[in-house]
């Protein structure tokens, strides 16, 4: 049964849990329900794997918008770029190739798994002319701006 006690300021600030609440939460995660013949943990929604969010730098030059992000350890074939006129999505997967027993780790801070980031661009770009390069783990995407002020003259030909 859930405690309806309000958490203290410190508990809300740090995300800490009282010992009796922690034990109760562990018991809840062990409970399962049966749906359609399948056992589903009571916390099935919490178990969904979330994608990490990439950190990015976005800046402009007179003719381009540049997006940079670190993708060290990611193979180019594991990266997917989706570019529209006003938005870019970078999606990928970093796979851990080593198999080390969890008990042998002292510190484990590197992120392994899927990641993505969608960025709304400050100006429209030409997706057809975009270029992406990777050097030493730094992905640089060059997005040419659409020049709305550009005018061209077209001569009319008689047929």
Domains of the chain: 9-41 (no CATH), 52-144 (2.60.40.790)
Structure-token match 């976005």, residue found? 58
Residue 7 is predicted with a pLDDT of: 65
Residue 66 is predicted with a pLDDT of: 96
Helices (H), the chain: 9-14, 19-30
How many residues comprise the chain? 159
Residue range 122-140: mean pLDDT, rounded: 93
Which is more confidently placed, 138 or 18? Answer: 138
- Based on its alpha-carbon atoms, the radius of gyration of the chain, rounded to whole angstroms, reads 25
pTM: 0.61
For the segment 100-118, what is each residue's pLDDT rounded down to a tens digit?
A: 888 888 888 888 889 999 9
For the segment 34-48, what is each residue's pLDDT rounded down to a tens digit?
A: 444 444 454 444 445
- CA-nearest of 43, 51, 37 to 80 is 51
Q: How many CB atoms lie within 10 A of CB 32?
A: 13
For the segment 53-112, what is each residue's pLDDT rounded down to a tens digit?
A: 889 999 999 999 999 999 988 888 899 999 999 999 999 998 877 778 888 888 888 888
For 11, the enclosing helix (H) or strand (E) is helix 9-14
């Amino acid at each position: 049964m859930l405690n309806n006690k309000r958490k203290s300021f410190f508990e809300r600030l740090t995300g800490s849990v009282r010992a009796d609440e922690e034990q109760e939460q562990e018991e809840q995660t062990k409970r399962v329900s049966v749906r359609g013949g399948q056992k589903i943990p009571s916390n099935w929604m919490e178990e969904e794997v979330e994608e990490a969010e990439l950190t990015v730098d976005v800046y402009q030059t007179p003719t381009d918008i540049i997006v940079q992000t670190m993708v060290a350890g990611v193979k180019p074939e594991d990266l997917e770029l989706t570019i529209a006129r006003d938005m870019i999505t970078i999606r990928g997967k970093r796979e851990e190739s080593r198999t080390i027993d969890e008990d042998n780790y002292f510190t484990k801070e590197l992120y392994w798994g899927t990641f993505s980031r969608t960025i709304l661009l400050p100006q429209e770009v030409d997706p057809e002319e975009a270029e992406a390069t990777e050097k030493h783990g730094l992905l640089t995407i060059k997005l040419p701006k659409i020049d709305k002020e550009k005018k061209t003259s077209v001569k009319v030909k008689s047929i």
